[in-house]
Amino acid sequence: MAPDVWNTIVRPMLLDRRGKALFLSTPYGRNWFWEVFKIGNDPAEPSWQSFRFTSYDNPLIEPDEIDSIRRNTPDRIFREEYLAEFGDDAGQVFRGVHEAATAPQFAVPDARGRYVMGVDWGRENDYTAVVVIEADSGVMVALDRFNQIGWSLQRGRLRALVETWSPEVILAEANSIGTVNIEALQNEGLPVRAFMTTSRSKRPLIESLSLAIERRDIALLPDPVLLGELASYEAERLSEGGLRYNAPPGAHDDTVIATAIAWNAANSGNVRIDFA
C-alpha cells in the first residue's frame, strides 16, 4: 500500500481502542516497508516489533526443496523471496552485465556450431532486434538492431543473418505485428517458430536470462545498446505480490527481449514457453 495510507487512514482508526496492526510483506529493496521494519528493531520504539522468517523456518517445507530452488533462481530473487533479505538493488533485474560481456565482437561461423536466433519485432517507435547465440557454448555471436524500415527490408536483414549462421531454429515474438512476418518467413522455408510474450511467459523468460548472466552461462557481446538496456531493465512489485518486468518509461528493451528469446531457444528445456 502507499505509505500515506497508514498515517492518514489506518493509524487514526486504531487510536481510540489502542488497536494493533500487522505488516506482512516480502522484502523489496529499501522501500517504505523497510523503514517500518527498522522501527521494530529500534529499542527506542518499544511499541513496535519486527520479525523475519525465511523459507527454511517453515516446518512444512523440506530444506532440500529450497536448495533445489536456489540452484535455479537468480540470487537477488532468492534472497528476497526465500531468505527474506532486504537488498540495495530493488528493481535491478540483471546483475554482472558488463562482466558477462566477454563474447568476441567479430565471430565467424563454425561448422560444428549449433546456432539459434531470437527475434523481437518493431518498426517505428520500437526497434527490431535479432540475436544469434551458439547454443552449446552460450556465446552470443551476432546482434542486429534497426527500425524505420519496412517489413520486407527487415525480413531481408534477418535472412542475411540466417545465410551467415544457419540457425537450427528462429524463435520470434508473435505478438501483434510479429505474426505476419513469421508466416512470411515460414513460407520461405525458414525454421521459424512463434513465441507468445504474455504475463505468464515473460517472467520465466527474463529470470532465466538473469540467472544465465549472473552465473556467466551466457557470454554477451560488448554492445553498448544491449548492455545499457540490460543494466536499466526494471522489476516492479505488483500489489498482489508478483513481479512485472519492463524497460524504464521512455526507454527500449528490444535487445533484452531478443536475447532472452534466443537464450530460451538455446535452453528450451529450462523454461516453459508458449508456442503459437
pLDDT of residue 56: 94
The SS3 call for residue 185 is helix
Nearest by Cα to 144 from 229, 264, 225, 227 = 225
pLDDT at 90 over 70: no
Are the CB atoms for 256 and 230 separated by under 8 Å?
Answer: yes
pLDDT at 41 over 80: yes
Instruction: Name residue, grid cell 532486434.
Output: 129
The SS3 call for residue 58 is coil
The SS3 call for residue 13 is helix
pLDDT of residue 206: 94
pLDDT at 35 over 90: no
C-alpha cell belonging to residue 156: 531481408
Sheet hosting strand 139-146, strand order edge to edge: 139-146, 128-134, 115-120, 169-173, 192-195
Mean pLDDT of 52-63: 93
Q: Considering the entire predicted model, what is its pTM?
A: 0.72
